[in-house]
Amino acid sequence: MTTQELLAHSSRYIMNTYRRFPIVLVRGEGPWVWDSEGKEYLDFVAGIAVCSLGHSHPAVTAAIRKQAETLTHVSNLYHIEPQIRVAECLVEHSFADKAFFCNSGAEANEAAIKLARKYGNEMMDGNRYEIITMENSFHGRTLTTVTATGQKKFQLGFEPLPEGFRYVPFNDIAAVEKAITEKTCAVMVEPIQAEGGILVPDDDYLRRLRNLCDDRGILLIFDEVQVGMGRTGTLFAYEQSGIQPDIMTLAKALGNGFPVGAMLATDAAAAAFVPGNHASTFGGNPLGMAAAMATLDTILTGGVLDNCKAVGAYFFDRLRELKGAHDIITDVRGRGLIVGVELSIPGDAIVSMAMENGVLINCTNGNILRFVPPLIITRDHVDRVIEVLDEVMRLT
């Protein structure tokens, strides 16, 4: 099929849930992707913070190939060696004692919400099932995770929504304190709000949240679906806060493009689940776990985190320079290689022009350019993106 035919068939046969750019991407390597016309792009979207080791990373590709030739799926009726290895690795490198596997971020959050409710209803004083989440947050698109998401625009039309969620402003401890009732079982928060516009809370926010949860005997859940797996320069974003959650969710970069999700918890929280309480047919299957294991091994041994910190700092410096040259940039923020550039104008024209110039970037919340490139990029890649942004912003 020609590209024009592909685009025509796409709108004819695929449900209308996305506004897609009019290109078809067919191949990727490292931070580069190519479309069906052979045009090359430097990819600072990375499948929305997914392909953190770059496209077609040789270690991940080899692991998937080898596992596909050995065993792809057997279900969780049996023990699965690659799943045991990934669980051990995640537990040994985090606060957690136990892992549950699924296939996406929404599913990981759904599992976290179910665990917190089970814990609240059965292991706390009285029946506790309410979860406090943040305004402007993003936790997924299932009916329950879209309800946990503190943004009306994602919920409209899907009423009635499940009960049991209360929303408070992000980065506001007093608001959380006021929202806690005798029904509250948990507080759920992204350590950095990603879809919401790369919002980094005050340095002591997560610590104060931890203290508050400890005082009131409620669980603290971190959604690290986007900011986990090295994105901020440490394997998990919470490591930089000096405190630990009780439950944490992961997905996006966990399999470097293979769909896998995980929900990690302390033994105390995990004890609320017993056989029959929660399950996933595909979750933790050998193929996904082989991808996750290769991804974890590479992040932990390949200098990826150091590169993320160093190139992230360089990217920040260059973006601050760019801000000095362009009035439309009102803020540059983020951590490691999750970076937001707030504009005084809508961002879509800049995203489209950057694409024409061979650079893929994303815009979230209308006017915030979001950069979530592979963590293996170099200063040269940053320079190229800055050069294109500078050119494009001159034209706006």
Ligand X SMILES: *Cc1c(COP(=O)(O)O)cnc(C)c1O
> Which of 86, 194, 360, 386 is the binder for ligand X (CB under 6 A)?
194
Closer to ligand X by CB, 9 or 20: give it. Answer: 20
3-state secondary structure of 192: coil
Least spacing, CB of residue 394 vs ligand X, in Å: 32
Phi, psi at 300, each rounded to 5°: -80, -20
Residues 6+ away with beta carbon under 8 Å from 2: none
Closest distance of CB 145 from ligand X, Å: 7
Site residues (CB under 6 A) for ligand X, limited to 52-111: 104-106, 109
Q: In the bound complex, what is the minimum distance in angstroms from residue 257's beta carbon to ligand X?
A: 12
Cis link prior to 160 (omega < 30° from 0)?
A: yes
Query: Segment 129-168, which members bind ligand X (CB under 6 A)?
Result: 138-140
364 is an interface residue for ligand X by CB under 6 A:
no
Contact 185, 130 (CB under 8 A): yes
Task: List, in sequence order, every residue forming a beta bridge with 223; answer none if it has no partner.
Answer: 249
What is the number of alpha carbons within 13 Å of residue 17 lying toward its C-beta?
4
Q: Are 139 and 122 in contact (CB under 8 A)?
A: no
Pick from 133, 144, 147, 226 the residue near ligand X by CB under 6 A: 226
Nearer to ligand X, 149 or 392 (CB): 149
> Greatest CA separation found in the chain?
63
Which of 227, 190, 290 has its CA nearest to residue 50? 227
Instruction: Based on the shown chain and the rule CB under 6 A, indicate whether residue 337 belongs to the binding site for ligand X.
Output: no
**CB of residue 357 to ligand X, shortest distance in Å:** 27
Residue nearest ligand X, CB atom distance = 105
Q: Is the Cβ–Cβ distance between 305 and 230 less than 8 Å?
A: yes
Total residues binding ligand X (CB under 6 A): 15
User: Which of 23, 106 has the CB closer to ligand X?
Assistant: 106
Residues that bind ligand X (CB under 6 A): 104-106, 109, 138-140, 190, 194-195, 223, 225-226, 251-252
